[in-house]
Amino acid sequence: MRLVAFALCGVLLCTCGPVTRTSTAATLTFTGLGGEPDSLNPLVSSLADVYALSHLYLSYLLETDDRGRLVPEIADRVPTRENGGISADGKRIVYHLRHGVRWQDGVPLRARDVAFSFSAVMNPANAVPTRLGLTEIASVETPRDDTVVVHLRRPFSPILAYFFGSQSIAGLLPEHLLGRYRDLNHVPYNALPVGSGPYRVVEWKRGESVTFVANPSYWRGKPRIGRLVYRIVADPNARLLQLESGAADAYFDVDPQILPQLRSIRGIRIDLTPVNDLHVIRFNLHDPVVGDVRVRRAIALSIDRTQLIAAATHGSGLIVDGDQPRNGWAYDRNLAELPYDPAAAKTLLDAAGWRARAGGVREKMGVPLELTLAIAPQIVNGSALVATVIQQELRGAGIGVTIKQVPSVLLWAPAAAGGILASGRYQLAYDAWWVLGPDPDDTWNFGCAQLPPSGENFYFWCNRRADAAMYAALTTYSRPARVRDYAIVQREIGRDLPEFTLWQVRMPNAYRPRLRGVSPSPFGSLFWNAWSWTLDG
């Protein structure tokens, strides 16, 4: 899922750090993220970083806090069975909106704005990157100005994350400003959005900066830092210079390749936040060579992930198996870690009929064991380095690897447009997926119904036991039951290896110690609590 990912006030306050000599007139300058936005309205953006940035100026019904918990934002509570927010049959979700919330132009935020925002996402004329999860909604009603009722076609447990929560692709939008448009693809709002968040966008200088000022009518009160300036700098080394010279107070989402240089700068704090971003090798199970699970397992056993992580992430990655982040509630702690074991890899290749040849690539019936590894450097920084390390390690097992660089648009395009993954025109692919939100739903990636062209199961893997567990997990709101279901999925992935997870990302953020209160959400936005940050004088 290329998505472009959330506390009662008292809980939030405890993460903010001590309040010292800070001023609402202060300016925080930061760089990093993905560079130039394609829009400031995440509804029509293809960039995950725009979603992260939007938490400065837009609002969501629910947020995800720094412990990965869904917490109330514009909704005044998280709907549960116990508080009456989720009906007994699991098909009716009720949101009660917080009183006193206003758009930044002074107009009250009402339930009708939530309903309008949903209709905007579902409007086929809008170039929305995905509607995943929201197609389970039959209707949205607004019986009162402060009440939103969501009717589901069937019980769907991830709905709290998908419906304007931390897995939503868009924030809440003002009907009074946008309701008159047929579509929202190119409206002026996308450059200077009016939201209900803690900061207001006042200027976007293309290629240079985006400036935000504190919203005095924010429902929690005016934020403690008066002005934020996001410096748009494309090159990671140039971003580093901004931080080192003092032109920037913070560099968020640091490129791991420059961590050694960053660590040499005195007076800079570096935090690593585990996020739901997994770097993987994809296998095409329709391929006659890697379709053999013994070959896939031999490839996995031949890769020393500890050394690869050190080279590619300078220690910021975490070894993880399966398809769930290690810090997620669905991660199976009993999952056996696939070790680095070159001897076992060679034994498997022998058993699969691939015979070793002195000093060279293995062969089977005169055919050499030569594979192609597709990478898209525009999507994943450092792809060439990772691919080269993998190439060298597989060579030691007698597997030849040719690295093929492809444009990102071609890698992820639909099959009808010649997409390499969707059409199955690959053997191995190095890729990363970035899932915003705390819900472990993985049907989009591994469900049997998601085989191309109907979905993004680019492995062409259909495991009936895993599939049944995935869909069972969607029909219950019981966390223990869902944990059991996702443990089955992870074990089946470990057995069949449609993909091999290389590492989970720990996002590096660097900033001067005078900036206090930064506490990124692992499954949401690093700006989720920016209203409470402080900047010492």
CB 257 within 8 A of CB 505: no
16, pLDDT greater than 60: no
Peptide bond into 452 cis (omega under 30): no
Task: Please give the Cα distance from 211 to 229 (Å, whole number).
Answer: 5
Mean pLDDT of the chain: 92
Question: What pLDDT was estimated at residue 380?
Answer: 74
Q: Give me the CATH code for the 9-251+512-535 domain, please.
A: 3.40.190.10
Write the secondary structure of 75-143 as one string of H (helix), E (strand) and C (coil): ECCCCCCCCCCECCCCCEEEEEECCCCECCCCCECCHHHHHHHHHHHHCCCCCCCCCCCHHHEEEEEEE
- Find residue 104's DSSP bridge partners: none
What are 237-288's pLDDT values in tens digits? Answer: 999 999 999 999 999 999 999 999 999 999 999 999 999 999 999 999 999 9
What pTM value is reported for the model? 0.89
| CATH 3.10.105.10 for the 274-507 domain, yes or no | yes
**What pLDDT, on the 0 to 100 scale, is given for residue 23?**
52
Q: How far is CA 228 from the centre of its chain?
A: 24
Q: What is the pLDDT of residues 22-57, one digit of tens each?
A: 456 699 999 998 888 999 999 999 788 899 999 999
Which pLDDT score, from 0 to 100, does residue 458 have?
Answer: 95
Residues 88-102: tens digit of each pLDDT: 999 999 999 999 999
pLDDT category of residue 455 using cuts at 50, 70 and 90? confident
CB 324 within 8 A of CB 490: yes
pLDDT band of residue 415 (cuts 50, 70, 90) is confident
* Alpha-carbon span 361 to 329, nearest angstrom: 42
More confident residue, 16 or 318: 318
CB atoms within 10 A of CB 139: 11
At 22 the pLDDT is 45
Q: 153 in helix, strand or coil?
A: coil
Where b means 16+ CB within 10 Å and e means fewer, 117-134 reads bbebbeeeebebbeebbb
* Three-class secondary structure of residue 63 per DSSP: strand
pLDDT digits (tens, 9 = 90+) for 160-190: 999 999 888 899 999 999 999 999 999 999 9
Q: What's residue 408's pLDDT?
A: 82
Lookup: tokens for 319: 């070894």
- Is the separation of the CB atoms in 273 and 526 below 8 Å? yes
Comparing 517 with 13, the larger pLDDT belongs to 517
**What are the boundaries of each domain within the chain?**
9-251+512-535, 274-507
